[in-house]
Chain A
């Protein structure tokens, strides 16, 4: 048996006969983990109060939108990023450096292009000081195990994406880490390749021959999480990364994605992800609570979703074609898009009052329907009115109006936002606000002096009145 041979080569970890024991040892544990980055005048948290255990024998999926801190959490667990407070422990010992019991599989593969497949796979063993002949043998067996035999002397750039990620897996598995850390390992692959590789990996995990004792998977793909994980940890992005909900996946493997239980779980996770699972309101009643909420919206508590006007209009039109109602999961599936791509658009439609999320469905409002059907000039007018619902756009417009000459440096808004967001987030927010305001002809932005200026027609009305 290959795995036995593989294990025999490295006597450091005496492995049990079945490599997937259900002893439930706690391998990784975080207590009160908080991670923050330096902001303008205070620390800005990206993760807060994370209590998480990873036990032997389980696959844990960390699921969340971009900006929810899921990748940061994985890196904290791997000992690559220090926690700001709280502890991360491996087998009960708090980490002081890189976690000795984990090995990482990267989204972008992170293969060294100047080394062959064989040399890439050997890296981890070489780092541990395993002798040349021994590590060559072990690497060859891992390469065979992962379906790469014949490619040993190839260079990464000669391989397809799927084959490259196999190298990534072989490289991590050959060191037999206790926990395999996977950072969106399939998201850079095309759909079919990802499906195939995912299937093979889970088959191997199920067969009990997997050389690691647990898997932590970071993903933004809900279906992937439900297919692979025993436990799904959903991280919420607002106000910063916290564990929003944990789903135990009791489904038998291999999982049947057409089964009712599977679909039901996907829908439940979807609802948690869109953050409206507890509201369950009907579109008719939705206006009232929203209107109250509208008053409380500030650029700090309601950041602009990263969505372009074109994307917003496109999605609105698409829902209009479906008679103003679409199931979110189906919609994303039909478009072949990931949650990451669709959710910002959904958030934008919601923020602008063009659509409401009801259960699993997205419903177009009256303004939304008008927006979707309007010609260019008309849609600009509708959008201009709707954009006032976006706090940052509103802030820019009102600040410009208060200024006698109707101009303000971008730095002003950057400073205002810097109290609440990292500089990267600030840049993204302003970019979106610029795009929306320009389209709505509320204000223009001049990149050279980095200045916002009220649009002429608007300025006239201010001076006139």
Chain B
């Protein structure tokens, strides 16, 4: 064979599609077009409701007629997706800044680590008052506060993931970009975003699942002794709970389940299947994500048509993006200038932080004195005990079950999607049922609170146990069978070491989730009865309701401290151990 020098049909390959095919529009295309139209209409219709005027003096009354549910569900969904879009935008900006600037990185990444540990619900109050002041007399303020709550539950995780993929970009891709003189715009959209796409999609999916919890918690809240409610499934359920109407609570639960499953089926499955193409591996994978919806979309002609319309737009943006400059790194850096820059940056950043700290200290000192931290520190021990008991209990119960499921491909196929849905189903939705149960049996909320926290958090342990068990190679299990290793010895030698890395991941997520959940599960109400447990969660909830900012700040700060402490002292160490010793 030699290099070919003939060019018989240069345009043969590129010019085939579309021209002859527009006539063959199929029912698939029609269905897709209709679906898009309906979606647009729904967004417009539902979106109108967000700017409706309201006054803070109105007595908020949520209509709990079940026929309201579809509209409420749509409003809730819109909130979720707006928050997701904001999270993605934030992720791109924040992670890019942290990955590209050596100086910013030193502040942004530790900050992100802390933000991740801050109990989101504790800050809802601040957000609500802030946003209402921003949009006086309009629902938009409340809407923003709710979206903000969901956003804060999603963004950190996604940002961390994307930052990691930016900094661990394969060396040859970095060199490719610089050697061929890519523009910064091209590098970002053609190399960096695609390289991080799989992580972005999966992290997005997990965070979105966690977001339902905050949606429910943020739609109906009382701040400063003032009740606020937004139309949505969460506030619907809240109103039904206040009325003590179990039937309508059931309707809300059903709607929630439909939403969770529907979004999974129509949005996340297709997206994960589509993201397969960004896998940076050099051969066809054996196990691929599939989606009926994506297959359906791909069979229609819309993607091609859309591509035709969007391609010139993309080119235009690419040309505009040239203004951002070429991806190049100067070969020589003046060390003196660099050091000066470092010093200036450190001084400015350090000064700002110090100023903020003294201001905060003075504020707390003036209002309550610094002894305000004492009570939450003590109460934190109670909540810490609950979190630890929860993790231990969930481990004892769910790890054996998870391993059983993970070892059986048939069970895994059935159980995994179910567990995924259960994990994203907002547990605070089920609280009224639990409270009803507590009232019936006379179980103390101090013990029951642990169960409530477990409702949401336990699934992470189950989910990761299944994944860990699946990752244990079959030949290892066969070798153990062959040697007659059974019972406790099998657990000690094969199963526990095998699932350990996965389990630790699950444990971190579960314990983080439990701290957050404590704010809503240590104080629960059902039909006029309120049960309050002793704990830091209840402390924060109380401070939120009465608008007591000094106590709120102290509570949130202490809880963050506990979360960070637990992570550093327990989970991080286990994680390192897992990476060093037990990675398969």
A interface with B by C-beta (< 8 Å): 1-2, 5, 75, 78-80, 82-83, 95-100, 102-104, 106-108, 110, 112-115, 118, 123-124, 126-129, 132, 136-137, 140-141, 144-147, 149-150, 152-153, 155-158, 164, 171, 175, 181, 196, 200, 203-204, 209, 448
Contacts and interface: CB of A to CB of B under 8 A. Distances in A.
A176 B4 CA distance: 18
B322 A129 contact: yes
Given A113-B278, A140-B10, A203 B180 contact: no
A99 B331 CA distance: 11
Given A98-B178, A140-B10, A155-B277, A204 B172 contact: no
Given A82-B331, A97-B330, A150 B13 contact: yes
B359 interface: no
B457 to A, nearest CB: 32
A97 B170 CA distance: 20
Given A82-B332, A112-B190, A127-B186, A103 B7 contact: no
Contact of A110 (B173, B197, B581): B173
Contact of A141 (B7, B175, B331): B7
Interface in B312-330: 315, 318-319, 322, 326, 328-330
B64 interface: no
B181 A113 contact: no
Interface in B1-50: 1-7, 10-11, 13-14
A414 B98 CA distance: 32
B331 A115 contact: no
5 contacts: A98-B329, A106-B176, A118-B14, A127-B183, A156-B282
Contacts, number: 129
Interface string B251-292: 000000000000000000000000001111111100000000
Given A97-B328, A112-B190, A123-B190, A144 B10 contact: yes
A99 B5 CA distance: 30
Contacts of B92: none
Interface of B: 1-7, 10-11, 13-14, 170, 172-173, 175-176, 178-183, 186, 190-191, 194, 197, 277-284, 315, 318-319, 322, 326, 328-332, 581
A252 B280 CA distance: 42
Contact of B175 (A104, A164, A203): A104
B3 A147 contact: yes
Contact of B13 (A137, A152, A175): A152
Given A95-B331, A127-B182, A200-B2, A110 B7 contact: no
B331 A83 contact: yes
B328 A114 contact: no
Contacts of A123: 176, 180, 182, 186, 190
Contacts of B322: 129
A115 B191 CA distance: 10
Nearest to A5: B7
Contacts of A108: 172
Contact of A204 (B3, B7, B10, B278): B3
B179 A98 contact: yes
B284 A157 contact: yes
A100 B13 contact: no
Contact of B331 (A97, A114, A128, A156): A97
A201 B309 CA distance: 40
A75 B2 CA distance: 30
Contacts of B182: 123, 127
Contacts of A115: 190
B281 A157 contact: yes
A106 B170 CA distance: 12
B394 to A, nearest CB: 29
A113 B281 contact: yes
A114 B10 contact: no
A145 B280 contact: no
Given A127-B186, A157-B283, A200-B3, A100 B10 contact: no
Contact of B173 (A83, A97, A112): A112
B330 A98 contact: no
A50 to B, nearest CB: 16
Contacts of B278: 113-114
Contact of B7 (A2, A132, A181, A200): A2
Contact of A145 (B3, B173, B175, B181): B3
Contacts of A103: 179-180
Given A106-B176, A110-B175, A127 B3 contact: no
Contacts of B281: 113, 157
Given A97-B328, A104-B179, A156-B282, 9 more contacts: A78-B179, A83-B331, A113-B281, A115-B190, A127-B181, A132-B315, A147-B3, A181-B179, A200-B3
B464 to A, nearest CB: 25
A100 B179 CA distance: 8
A60 to B, nearest CB: 18
Contacts of A106: 172, 175-176
A402 B301 CA distance: 78
A78 B190 CA distance: 22
A2 B5 contact: yes
Given A113-B281, A158-B284, A203-B2, A100 B332 contact: no
